[in-house]
Amino acid sequence: MDFESKDIKRSRTSYLAQSTVEYFVSLLVTDAFLAKLLTHIGISDSLIGIISSFITMAFVIQLISIFIVRLNVSTKRIVITCDTISIFFFMLLYLVPFIPVSKEIKTVLVMLSILLAYAGKYTVVSLLFKWANSYVSPSQRARYSANKEIISLVSGMVFTAVIGRIIDKFEGLDNLEGAFLFITIAILILNISNFICLLMIKKEDKSEHKADNEPFSVVLKHTLGNKNFRNVVILTAIWNIARYFTVGFLGVYKTKDLMMSLFLVQIINIVSNAFRVFVSKPIARYSDRHTYAKGFELGLILELMAYIVLIFTTNKTWWLIIVFTILFNCSYAGTNQNSSNITYSYVDSKYIAQAMAIKNCIGGVFGFAASLLGGKVLDIIQSNGNMIFGIHIYGQQVLAGITVVMLIITLIFTKTVIAKQTVMKQ
């Protein structure tokens, strides 16, 4: 493939733009924005955390992609259709407060909207990754991924600051529903932009998909039958348990217990993303020169440090959330893209879409189970007046402590098992 041809360059540029637009949507449906919506509806803190972690359960939907690749249909057409429907359901999420029904029914509608949105997204996420990434030179994958992140993060800084400020203005006027309507319109515009970006990516060459119609037994042999890949699946499961045990409960922790405004939360996110931009390229170069596993390892160390800081974060030491957010966001420079790219190290590129679907599905089940358990622990602590053995402590501090233990296990497994496996050059 000529990676310098006009249509290939256009495809890479369009994928960069699409990733940025999709990142904007994700900012509006996670963390403090989502917590503000769910709190307004009247949903409990523990349920907010579980709903925020629905993304992990939606990973199960990725198994559908194993069947889709066997169909004689256009990957481009399927990706555009499912991604557009996905963002549409994210938009509907912010219209739920306007529906004249009980809190219980609104809760169900919110859960359905999130599940359907993520179902649409994760039905094709591995197909999109394989399709769009096929136009990136193998020797440049980590650096291209870093460029995607940097563009998304820098533009996301401005985006979140503006949106956060506007939401705070609406809230100051006691018109939070007006803010939700504004977000609805914003997501609609983003959906149209996402559609155009995907249209600009070159249609896939089906002749290159030699593994698409092979028997499932052959696909399984090259994925789960591969010991090195099985270890990557185990790594993903442990890592998802570690992070989803706590992360879904942090949005409400910031806005409720630490009493932070949405604008302040977004300013902190902007500062932390600036740090992430600074470390993204160096970690990407390190990953390309060494291995994706080594780059992932660096990210885990930063994530571990972040959750250690979170253990000591209370309303009296609320400023520690700034340190946590900086370390946590910087950790993504090592874990986010490397967690996807690492599949290339141990699975034949013909089976990348199927391998990613299997890996993310299994990891997602464990992650969602961890969020359910985390919600139970948070409920118990909050029902006890945030007291444990006579000591006042927030539930999120306890969850962070458990996450620290799990991240240590994840780091040890990465260093002693994954990093020592033979890497495939492809």
Which has more confidence, 17 or 218? 17
**Average pLDDT for residues 175-187, to the nearest whole number?**
94
Rounded mean pLDDT of 280-290?
Answer: 87
pLDDT of residue 405: 97
Supply the pLDDT for residue 325.
94
Identify the top-confidence range among 73-82, 110-119, 294-303.
294-303
Nearest to 23 by CA among 158, 115, 142, 139: 158
In angstroms, the CA 338 to CA 348 distance is 17
Record the tokens describing residue 44, joined without a space: 């409990």
Residue 68 has pLDDT above 80, yes or no: no
Q: Is the pLDDT of residue 47 over 80?
A: no
Mean pLDDT is lowest, of 101-105, 163-167, 206-210, 223-227, for 206-210
Residue by residue, DSSP assigns 271-288 as HHHHHHHHHHHHHHHHHH
104, two tokens: 């219980």
Distances (CA, A) of 145 to 40, 137, 170, 190: 36, 11, 36, 21
Cα-trace Rg, the chain: 21
Mean pLDDT of the 380-401 span = 86
CA atoms of 421 and 426, how far apart (whole Å):
15
- C-alpha span between 198 and 176 (Å, rounded): 33
Q: What pLDDT does residue 234 have?
A: 96
pLDDT, greater one: 127 or 31: 127
Give me the mean pLDDT over the 121-129 stretch.
Answer: 85
Mean pLDDT in residue range 302-329:
94
Report residue 337's pLDDT band, with 50, 70 and 90 as the boundaries: confident
Q: Which residues contact 141 (CB under 8 A, 6 or more apart)?
A: 133, 288, 341, 344
pLDDT confidence bin for 57, thresholds 50/70/90 = low
Distance CA(15)–CA(35), nearest Å, equals 29
Give SS3 for 99: coil
CA 91 – CA 117 distance, rounded (Å): 9
Task: Reply yes or no on whether the pLDDT at 206 is more than 70.
Answer: no
Cα torsion 152, 157, 161, 167 to 10°: value is: 30
Separation CA 414–CA 342 (nearest Å): 12
What is the structure's pLDDT at 207? 56
| H or E element, residue 134 | none
Residue 374, both tokens: 């985390």
| One-letter amino acid of 202 | K
- Those residues with Cβ within 8 angstroms of residue 192's Cβ, 6 or more apart along the chain or in another chain: none
Confidence of residue 181 (pLDDT cuts 50, 70, 90): very high
Q: b/e for 71-81, b at 16 or more Cβ within 10 A?
A: eeeebbebbbb
Answer with the residue of higher pLDDT: 247 or 188. 188
Per-chain mean pLDDT for the chain: 87
Sign of the Cα pseudo-torsion (125, 131, 137, 138, in order): positive
Structural tokens at position 35: 């917590």
3-state secondary structure of 10: helix
Burial (CB < 10 A; 0-12, 13-18, 19+), residue 320, is middle
Q: How long, in residues, is the chain? A: 426
3-state SS class at 67: helix
Q: Is the per-residue pLDDT at 56 higher than 70?
A: no
The pLDDT of residue 49: 67
Q: If DSSP codes are grouped into helix, strand and coil, which group holds residue 226? A: coil
CB 333 within 8 A of CB 299: yes
DSSP secondary structure letters along 299-348: HHHHHHHHHHHHHT--SSSTTHHHHHHHHHHHHHHHHTTHHHHHHHHHS-
pTM: 0.74
Note whether 358 and 63 are within 8 A (CB). Answer: yes
pLDDT of residue 297: 94
pLDDT at position 228 is 94
pLDDT of residue 236: 95
